[in-house]
Structure 1
Amino acid sequence: MGSTRRLASLAVAGIFLVTAAAACGGSGATSPKATGAATVGPAAFTPGPDTGWSNSGITVDPAKLGCPNPTGPQSRGVTDTEIKVGGLITQTSSSGPVNTGMDVGAKIRFERANAEGGVNGRTITYVGTRDDGSDPTRLITQAESLANDGVFAAVPAVARAGNFSDVFCKTDTPFFGWGVSADYCGTALGFGITGCLVSGPGGSTIPSAWGMAARAILGGDGSGRSAAVVGVDLDSAVNGVKLSAKAIKASGIAVPYVENPVPASGLNDPTAIVNALMHANHGAPPDLVVTIVDFSPAIKIIDALRAAGYQGKILTPLGYDPRLAGFKDLDGTYTLLQWAPAESGSAADDQMRADFAKYAPSEPIGLTAMAGYWSADMFLDAVRKTGRDLTVASLLKTLNGGGYSYNVAGAVAQTQWPVNHTASAPCAAVVQLSGGKYLPTVKLSCTPLVANQ
């Protein structure tokens, strides 16, 4: 019974996570097209260092972003001894919990910061988390409530649907989080730990991480190999699947199948989809199947592929979670992560694991909990680099002045600002679940930005 409940919870969380995965391809907000961007070839998709990646000539003028000049209260929530912050997170839905542990992850990081004396002489006061309940209308009222509580910043701010950035623009409230909504794209106030993930079909870049992952899984330079990309029948997912497939193709791999056949309401019978996949590559199955779908449909497709005799590789954005390590249906599959897995062995991930063990020992270190933790860490980094004279304007000057980047060696790949207001970080890690353990296939790595041309 306990295992069933855990998987049900993960299935609900998967709905949000696959939105993030599709968002890696972009949907929603429109970002400027690249001008003068360098053209890259398949070799650019070779894994590189997790910092120092090239912007390929793609630049962003922060003055042309939304909300570039805050005019409201500059030090709201800041005193000589504290900084007041709060979270705005989609935590519940009609189907169950969402973003499980994201607020806990943030509070853990803030607790360690406070135990170490705070940042620039100020401790962090976390006023709590507003839950929008997956309701766009409630999202607005909850964002207004958080701003009215006098927070200096919203950390984390991660919502599943709707728009909260307009509220924070009117109230001059910076926000930090996992950039899985259009709120993080094209605004000077929003800072995603992996950049802007939903830049729209006219966005400046394509999600190169998918191409990097596919090449690494298939080995070699990709020539003579093929991949199929399967998505959900939603407008945002359609665009995300197309751009993800575009990145895989640009990496040198043929992509004969790019479809969104999975109904948004759920998948009852995967037979037709699997039959199409098994003949997608000139009558034969592709070497790699990429499932950018919700948890339950993904499992149905994976099980049906194996029952049909599929011998190729399977890549999903949903397979990494300590609660899934023993789930045999996912054994052998690969998962793309936007930051390093907790088991990476880096000093930063070891510290994170120690923090969870100390401050919330019962909280699983899954993707959403990690997203909250690293969102808080980015905020702390920006505040520290801003210095003692902390206002909204001074914080934005630090972040958008052209010299700020955020990364945690071996744990969170570099974002560069302001370019990541309109592009996702071109970085990822890949793990394979094997025998109840997550084995690294690609350590946290980056490519250059790849223009959407």
Structure 2
Amino acid sequence: MRTIRLVAAAATALAVIASAVGCSSDGTPQDGPTVAADTVKAGPPSGWSDGGYTVDAASLKCGQTASNPTRGVTDTEITIGGLAYLTSASGSSMAGTELGAQARFDRANAEGGVNGRKINYVGTLDDGNDPARNSAQAKALVDKNIFAAVPVMTSSANYLDTFCGETVPFFGWGFNLGFCQTSIGFGITGCQFPEGDVTSTTYGLMIQAMFGGDATGKTTALVGVDNDSARAGLKQLGEQIRSVGVKTVYEENPIPVAGITDTTAVVNALMTSNNGAPPDVVLYVADFNSVIKMTAAMTAAGYEGKNLNPVGYDPRLAGFKDLQKSYTIVQWQPGADTSVPAIKQLTEDFAKYAPDQAISLPAMAGYWAADMFIQAATKVGPELTVDKLLKVLNSDYSYYVEGAVPETRWPLNHNISAPCASIVQLNGDKYDITSKLSCGSLIKK
């Protein structure tokens, strides 16, 4: 049971990501922006279309210069610390993200550091998934005189008041609002909470990939959690799916925040949602345990379509009975694909510097967040300051790891995520990659 609770860590994060991204007030799916379905193809992880959407760096919050721009920097080292929920009352956590970051920093140091400076990694503080503690731990990191916060993997963004006030750049997985519309937060796949007149084709593209690239005539049901952010999120995902011409036949939020217990009513609604028949795909945007219960209940009800979720990928789940044949959407290339040179390097780094850590989604996110910081700080050059780092990052900077992490562009991705993902399916004791990391495009509404 411990394994499943640890895996729920990534599950919770991904549910937050997906739930934060339409329906009318009566639950009826709305059309939203559309493009010609035959023009939406799986493109490479870089060079995706921004659809004409732009972001002015001057419009972002926290744009002031640092009062102490050389904070945490000496001639020989750069002090870095992280913030994550490594424990929580529910048992789910981002445990492993700190070891992923440590592995990447250790390799950088072994290779001579960043422009001759070694990374002095003071560790990642645990906020316990408690908003009040989140704020307190951010202040504790500032007291440690950190130059930047890496990784940041929290559900609360209470840290932002401190990081903004002290101009602390931070890098992580952008599944809290602190990564959005601020000039100092850098998510490895961008901000997961888009605002304004933009959406993307990402989920539509992934639905297409599940059907070999052609989902003409297919239908999708979306099942979410019963809170305001999740309702807004389901609306965004519905728009993404309909944007490529795939019909959504159910788009509701019947799952309690605390998780679902009785699945009967939801299963009955889903099994008849497509004019009395079940849909071709059911997308569950919920916590890990609810996804498991819903998937098992639909299978028991005789559902023969495709189950899709954003929470089911983790090496520790290999062989897990209740998610067999399920598909999972992942925002970067899964760690199982060592044919990609960068993934092979990551695997070797974990084996050398974090040999007991599974290459889970939180661990990978910590590793890539550290890599993003290292690349940006290296580009600044020997005269490293907070202000110079932020100027580089917010001046048409691009982060991309070929075949592994999709391209992000800054300042654009302060306001939206990269329109990219991959799809895996759990078959027996292994994950098969249904669709390698690929990208769609942004769409202006």
Structure 1 residue 21, shift from structure 2 partner = 2.5
Structure 1 residue 39, shift from structure 2 partner = 7.4
Contact 1:183 1:190 in 2 (8 A): yes
Which residue, 404, 407, 412 being the options, matches 1:419? 412
Structure 1 residue 12, shift from structure 2 partner = 4.9
Q: Distance in 1 between matches of 2:75 and 2:38?
A: 51
Q: Which moved more, 1:161-170 or 1:77-86?
A: 161-170
Structure 1 residue 113, shift from structure 2 partner = 0.5
Contact 1:12 1:95 in 2 (8 A): no
Q: Which residue of 2 aligns with 1:295?
A: 288
What is the aligned-residue RMSD (CA, Å)? 1.5
Which residue, 221, 231, 253 being the options, matches 2:246? 253
* Residue 337 (structure 1) aligned with residue 330 (structure 2): yes
Which residue, 299, 308, 311 being the options, matches 2:304? 311
Contact 2:41 2:440 in 1 (8 A): yes
Structure 1 residue 44, shift from structure 2 partner = 4.5
Q: Judging changes above 3 Å, is the alpha-carbon distance between structure 1 residues 97 and 286 closer, same or farther for their aligned structure 2 residues?
A: closer
Q: How many residues align?
A: 434
Q: Which residue of 1 aligns with 2:43?
A: 48
Q: Which moved more, 1:119-128 or 1:131-140?
A: 131-140
Q: Distance in 1 between matches of 2:92 and 2:204?
A: 32
Q: Which residue of 2 aligns with 1:67?
A: 62
Q: Which residue of 1 aligns with 2:26?
A: none
* Residue 126 (structure 1) aligned with residue 126 (structure 2): no
Q: SS in structure 1 opposite 2:406?
A: strand
Q: What are the within-5 Å matches in structure 2 for residues 80-91 of structure 1?
A: 80-91=75-86
* Residue 364 (structure 1) aligned with residue 361 (structure 2): no
Q: Distance in 2 between matches of 1:97 and 1:144?
A: 24
Q: What are the within-5 Å matches in structure 2 for residues 280-291 of structure 1?
A: 280-291=273-284
Q: SS in structure 1 opposite 2:378?
A: helix
Q: Which residue of 2 aligns with 1:30?
A: none
Q: Which moved more, 1:5-14 or 1:50-59?
A: 5-14
Which residue, 135, 141, 145 being the options, matches 1:150? 145
Q: Distance in 2 between matches of 1:97 and 1:127?
A: 24
Structure 1 residue 205, shift from structure 2 partner = 2.5
TM-score, structure 1 normalization: 0.93
Q: Distance in 2 between matches of 1:73 and 1:90?
A: 28
Q: SS in structure 1 opposite 2:52?
A: coil
Offset from partner CA, 1:176-199 (integer Å, 9 cap, x none): 000001101111111100001123
TM-score, structure 2 normalization: 0.95
Letter in 2 for 1:184: F
Structure 1 residue 207, shift from structure 2 partner = 4.4
Offset from partner CA, 1:341-370 (integer Å, 9 cap, x none): 012220000010111111111111010000
Q: SS in structure 2 opposite 1:68?
A: coil
Q: Distance in 2 between matches of 1:296 and 1:45?
A: 33
Q: What are the within-5 Å matches in structure 2 for residues 345-384 of structure 1?
A: 345-384=339-378
Which residue, 156, 161, 164 being the options, matches 2:156? 161
* Residue 172 (structure 1) aligned with residue 167 (structure 2): yes
Q: Which residue of 2 aligns with 1:387?
A: 381
| % identical equivalent positions | 51
Letter in 2 for 1:366: S
Contact 1:291 1:315 in 2 (8 A): yes
Which residue, 192, 195, 198 being the options, matches 2:190? 195
Which consecutive unaligned segments of at least 5 residues does structure 2 have?
A: 23-32
Letter in 1 for 2:65: P
Letter in 2 for 1:320: Y
Q: Which residue of 2 aligns with 1:21?
A: 18
* Residue 138 (structure 1) aligned with residue 137 (structure 2): no
Q: Which residue of 2 aligns with 1:34?
A: none
Q: What are the within-5 Å matches in structure 2 for residues 413-452 of structure 1?
A: 413-451=406-444
Which residue, 222, 228, 240 being the options, matches 1:235? 228
Letter in 2 for 1:378: M
Which consecutive unaligned segments of at least 5 residues does structure 1 have?
A: 27-37
Structure 1 residue 13, shift from structure 2 partner = 4.5
Q: Distance in 2 between matches of 1:162 and 1:378?
A: 20
